[in-house]
Homo-oligomer: A and B are copies of this chain.
Amino acid sequence: MKAKSAAAPKPRRPAAPRGKTAARTDRAPVRRGDTTRLSILDAAERSFAESGFDGVSLRTITERAGVDLALANYHFGTKENLLHEVIARRARIVHDERVRALELARLKAGTRSPSVEAIVIAFLGPLLRRLAQRDAGWRHYGSLVSHLDVLPKFTAMTSGVLDPTALHFINALRLALPKAPERSIYWGYMFLLGAMVQVLSATGRIERLSRGLCRSDDVDGALRELVPFVSGGLRALGSDSK
């Protein structure tokens, strides 16, 4: 739990030494250690998602990856850095696609602002569509994000990757809800995150409560409820009803 007070744990290998001699035309380089790196990343993603960062050991992770324990240190340096790389590889993809989707919604709307629904869909779609396809890696990533979302020591760590996305959408919401106070927009974005996180975390609670009527892994079904809920909620912030 407590950080080593000794010298900073410096990975022997620089952060991004891959693809150096790979001025190759296409396809993956797939050199010796790349499959190892990937195995560790995947196993870590799954393990962190299931048990939280502090709930799994590097031993468990490397065992699941089918590689030697020492390779975790060789490829990633510290456990914290491993977590960081697990998050970053998919966060980049989601961020880019969200921003693209928002840009597309803007183009479609012409001179007006995109609707609240369009903005919400641009935000939720890129991540939730991937979960809906039952890709195991993306589902683990979703659980992991939900876990990191609520602990201060991790939100601080991941803010660099996640906050830029936020500001794009907060701006868009501002334009779509001209009557909503500035404060309401920020809180509304947080509530949007919170509602989404309930889908990402997939804890199995909803099947317990509904006795099987709803299912945590039915992301399509959840998305059909999530979009109107969040859109209606955001609109309520912008109205004068309260």
- Residues on A lying within 8 angstroms of B by beta carbon are 1, 50-57, 60, 143, 146-147, 149-153, 155-156, 159, 163, 166-167, 170, 182-184, 186-191, 193-199, 201-206, 208-210, 213-214, 221-222, 224-237, 239, 241-242
Q: Given known contacts A1-B55, A1-B57, A150-B197, is B190 in contact with A205 (CB within 8 Å)?
A: yes
CA distance A23 to B50 in the complex (A): 46
CA distance A1 to B202 in the complex (A): 21
Can you give 27 A-B contacts (C-beta < 8 A)? Answer: A50-B153, A52-B53, A149-B150, A149-B201, A150-B150, A150-B203, A151-B203, A152-B202, A152-B203, A166-B209, A183-B210, A183-B213, A183-B214, A184-B225, A186-B209, A187-B214, A187-B225, A188-B225, A190-B199, A190-B205, A191-B198, A191-B225, A191-B230, A195-B195, A224-B242, A228-B242, A232-B239
CA distance A78 to B190 in the complex (A): 36
Q: Given known contacts A159-B205, A204-B156, is B242 in contact with A183 (CB within 8 Å)?
A: no
> A206: shortest Cβ distance to chain B, in Å?
6
A152, A187, A209, A224 interface centre (most CB from chain B within 10 Å): A187
Chain B residues with CB under 8 A of A189: 209
A contact face: mostly helix, strand, loop, or mixed: helix
> A58: shortest Cβ distance to chain B, in Å?
11
Q: Is the CB of A193 within 8 A of B198?
A: yes
> A169: shortest Cβ distance to chain B, in Å?
10
Q: Is the CB of A195 within 8 A of B191?
A: yes
Contact partner of A213 (CB less than 8 A), chosen from B1, B186, B188, is: B186
Chain B residues with CB under 8 A of A213: 182-183, 186
Q: Is the CB of B198 within 8 A of A194?
A: yes
> A64: shortest Cβ distance to chain B, in Å?
13
CA distance A201 to B152 in the complex (A): 8
What residue of chain B has the Cβ atom nearest to residue A182's Cβ?
B213
Contact partner of A163 (CB less than 8 A), chosen from B50, B194, B208, B241, is: B208
Contact partner of A194 (CB less than 8 A), chosen from B196, B204, B231, B237, is: B196
Q: Given known contacts A50-B152, A147-B150, A194-B194, is B233 in contact with A210 (CB within 8 Å)?
A: no
Chain B residues with CB under 8 A of A205: 155, 159, 163, 190
